[in-house]
Amino acid sequence: MDSLSEQLEEVRSRAEACLSSPCSAHEVRAGVCAMANLPLPPSAKYQHISAEAMVKENSTGNNKKEIIGSLQRLSTALNILEKYGSNLTSSSRPKYWRTVKHNNPVFRATVDAIKGGRAVLCLYGYTNQQADGLSFPEDVQEPDLQKVPSVTLEVMSLRMELDMLIQASHPHPEFFESLVPSVFQQEEKMLAFPSDAPWEKEDTPMVAATPSKTSSSTKPTDNCTICGIFPVSAQCPVCVQRLCSECDRLYHSHPARSSHSRIAVAHNKPSKSISASLSSWQCVHCTTYNTMQEVLCGTCERPRLASTAPAASSNPQEAQPSTIAEWQCKSCTMVNAGSSVLCEVCERPRLATRPPAAPSRPAAPTLHLRDSQWVCQFCTYANHTPSSVCEMCDLPRPEPAPLPPKLRTPSPVREFLQLSIKPKASPTEDPDAKRQRLMREEGLKLIQLIREGERKGVSPEEVYASVRVSGDTSVMPCNWLKAELPRLLDEICARAALALPDHRALQPELSGCSNGSQEQLSRGVQLSRDEAKRAWLAAGGDIERAVKQALRERKAKMKELSALGFSDAARCGEALRQCGGEVRKALVMLQRPLLEPFHQRMWSNQPEPSINIHLPDKQRVCRRLLAVYDLPSWGRSELALSLLQDPTAPYTLEDVVQAVRESHDRDFIRRVLAKECPICLSVFPHSKMQSLTSCQCSVCCGCFKQHFTIAVRDKHIRDMVCPVCWEPDINDPEHLNSYFSTLDIQLRECLEPEVYELFHQKLTEQALIKDPKFLWCSHCSYGFIYDGDQLKVTCFHCRNSFCAQCKKPWESQHTGLSCEQFQSWKRENDPEYQRQGLAGYLRDNGITCPNCRFQYALARGGCMHFCCSQCRYQFCSGCNNPFHTTCPVIQCSVTGLHAHHPRDCLFYLRDWEPARLQALLQKEAVAFNTDTPPGTQAGLCGVIEQKVGQQTDSACGAQTQPGQAGLCEKHYTEYLVSLINGHSIDPAPLYNANELLLACRRYQVEEPRREAEDDRTYYSRLLKILMDNVPLGDKVPRKK
């Protein structure tokens, strides 16, 4: 025993290691098989599970077959428990391994149906009892990887031992004899049974219960293969049958077997063997002796003639086969399985022969018919015409069998004399033919009545029942049904109503009904005419059988309704009566009052009550979530409920439901429900965050609305970008249209109506400024498209006029004059213009946006970077070149916001002294002003300019210098540069050497110095190359 215990421990440790590690299934099965084959009792082999108690408590039944069935159910349950253990020991455990649900149909039918199944689950670790199943405790994070493989190994070993017991292949069944003794009991039966007949007591020998040794030495009884009673008298080599004389006559009377030749068999057995064979028969499969009255073996339940003993013949080819896999019915020729006793088509016994066409005659009738007559082998109808199909069943006529040849050896089969048919002048009608003729006539007449009824809407069942009840075939069934059927149906209903005892027996739930229901039920079963009619048709017109049939059907329907939760028998019976016995319609009628409160709540104006997540009935809350919010599955509703009940994360019901619809991952849902707004730093769910299509940033709905409301009201259309990353770049025309098309859809939902209308107005103006005919009003800054040819334009908004070319307010003196002529006239004749002097000149020649052509009456002094307030275009006010962060010049190495200025731009010339600029103008013979205009304030510059931090424009106010026309140095320099730009004067001739080399590097002019070339010659040649290759700015304003 010690060695076996050590061997058990070694096998257990090796098998548990295979279960704990990722081994192959073959290795695991080998370890389980080694443990199951150990010669130890279950009490010593199984340490965790109570194997003996499980086998003993689950092996129930009255006989061996029922006990084996219960052991098979136990094996199936152990198979499911084995899968639970395998999932826990696997490295990739399923997602919901912590719980086992009771509502699982597989669990209820297997593990929960046996005794000890939940105890095994507790050994696995499922010790926490819940309302809907078992689960691991909350503090247990992982299963016990030492105990679970050990329990799983014992479950697998016990299941393998049970399978070997069921298949009778267990190597040590003696350990289970005390647990399931019925499986190992041998059925000891004697050949002779107690009988009062003295001849049977004397002639019956005693045979041992296990005839395995005696049967080999004693010669078996050679009886008939078919009946098994009488001795064999002939053997047919074609059919491979050994038959007695009577069975041989009946079996070979069939036309298909009438040509078989038989061999006579002689017998030397004493007469006592016949009496022994009459009392019992031996099953050749399990060698059990059974009584002659038993058709199936009591041990193996095989049919009596499933296989026969080999015939006593020296030739092995003539021996009877040991098993019969299938047999052919002798009545309908249907081939049936070898284990079936009755035919599947005609339900005749296996040993029954086809009834002869004329049973009173000793010989087969088919051999004595005339040439024109033949008997159908399917319906046994005698046809009198030489047709190829039967007149009754329309089946084909078999081929005529040849006459039997003369037997080679004398056969003991009884021979019958062939009766010769003598022709008579007036032969009498054959009784069998008369019977078939009458049967055919009645059948044809019934078919005619059925067809007539079908034309009038009467079913064949009604026609047959009416003919059977009336008994008069001359009466039309349709007329009889109209006249007599209502009375019969009422009689059936009345008899059912009087069947009080049967009704009480059919209504076991009567005790739970109220007094009114009991009084109503005491009147009996109230049937409808539809129920009575169906029962009458099922009974074939018999009223008594129809009443019983109706009561049985009503009982089954009442039980079905009771199983669905309707226990009031009176209401169920009334509903069935009103619905004609249809359960589905009765169920709808019974459910209608129950749904009435729901319908009233649905059609009422009161709001739907909110879902209370703190109800103790969690399944009710989950069902409500499934119904109201249309969640995908039951698991999603449980996940939503668990998130709502989490005290650390207070989520709203709508946010949780929307997140659960998108995903089933709890961690992902928590991230979705906890998004931080980068502007207000508050936490919101993903559904309350908004983002633009141009970036990945997300802000809350409140910040999104506030940002774009301020941008639409107070800023330009190009400021409507992401408030976090300030994307996209609105200056890119390719992305502009697609961005604003998607932004329009988002702003429509969140902005106020008046703000959204202002957004559309600015968007429209942004699109219109690209049209060359678009004009800005100089009075009210209103934009519109002008298609006219005249210079005078009237604004549609303020009704004031201005010039379409110079954009100045319209004056009557402008009529008939060009813009230059009108400016010259104002300088010479307008006192106000003369008083302003060069300040008015700088204002009139202010800044014009090169993108939208909006004019600003401002000086260019100060920063040259200008941003248009209308279109947000950034450009240089001196040369109109754009400012950008992504430079289109490949050779440019400057990063950040910058622009590329030509050499005649104010950006470079503003650093020159006024005297140097005057010298450049004098060189080109361009007149310039140096005197202060009369009427201006002395000492202060009056040029209007835009100042940072002020809402309105104001005068410069800087100190003026003598000889600078009453302007400060900055604005006087701007005046001189405007004259240089107006006359397209190149400032390069006044460059010194350093300025010339710097300009060549700036504009990438590379010219090496020649040999023996002096500085003056090199600089002159370099200046000429610069002026020829690098032109002046093409966008510089050239107003004179």
Continuous segment of H or E residues that includes residue 660: helix 653-662
Interstrand relation of 865-867 and 874-876 (parallel, antiparallel or unpaired): antiparallel
- The answer to whether 50 and 78 are in contact (CB under 8 A) is no
**How far is CA 1019 from each of CA 40, 754, 1013, 1032, rounded to the nearest angstrom?**
116, 65, 10, 19
Instruction: List the catalytic residues.
Output: 863
- Per-residue tokens: 98: 């912590």
User: What 3-state class would DSSP assign to 601?
Assistant: helix
pLDDT (0 to 100) of residue 254: 81
Q: How far apart are CA 223 and CA 1024, in angstroms?
A: 139
pLDDT (0 to 100) of residue 279: 55
- The answer to whether 277 and 228 are in contact (CB under 8 A) is yes
Q: Quick one: DSSP state of residue 968?
A: -
pLDDT along the chain (1040 residues), means of 10: 78 84 79 87 88 88 85 90 87 84 81 88 88 86 88 90 87 85 56 36 36 36 73 83 84 82 68 45 72 70 56 38 61 73 73 54 41 70 74 70 47 43 58 84 84 85 82 76 86 83 44 49 76 88 88 92 89 90 91 85 77 84 86 89 82 85 86 86 83 85 89 80 81 69 84 87 76 81 81 89 85 84 75 56 70 68 76 84 83 83 88 88 85 69 63 70 80 84 88 88 86 87 88 79
CB within 8 Å of 802: residues ≥ 6 apart: 777, 778, 779, 792, 793, 795, 808, 809, 810
Q: How far apart are CA 82 and CA 156, in angstroms?
A: 6
Continuous segment of H or E residues that includes residue 203: helix 198-203
Q: How far apart are CA 847 and CA 860, in angstroms?
A: 7
Q: How far apart are CA 259 and CA 245, in angstroms?
A: 17
Q: Which residues of 886-912 are buried (b: 16+ CB within 10 A; e: fewer)?
A: eeeeeeeeeeeeebbbbbbbbbbbbeb
What average pLDDT does the structure give for the chain?
77
- Using alpha carbons only, give the angle 225, 231, 235 rounded to the nearest 5 degrees: 55
- The answer to whether 189 and 289 are in contact (CB under 8 A) is yes
- Using alpha carbons only, give the angle 170, 171, 176 rounded to the nearest 5 degrees: 60
- Using alpha carbons only, give the angle 62, 63, 69 rounded to the nearest 5 degrees: 95
Continuous segment of H or E residues that includes residue 536: helix 529-538
pLDDT (0 to 100) of residue 444: 86
pLDDT (0 to 100) of residue 586: 92
Q: What is the pTM of this model?
A: 0.35
pLDDT (0 to 100) of residue 597: 82
Q: How far apart are CA 793 and CA 777, in angstroms?
A: 9
- Over the stretch 528-572, which tens digit does the pLDDT of each residue have? 888 988 898 888 888 888 899 999 999 999 999 999 888 888 899
Report CA Rg, the chain.
57
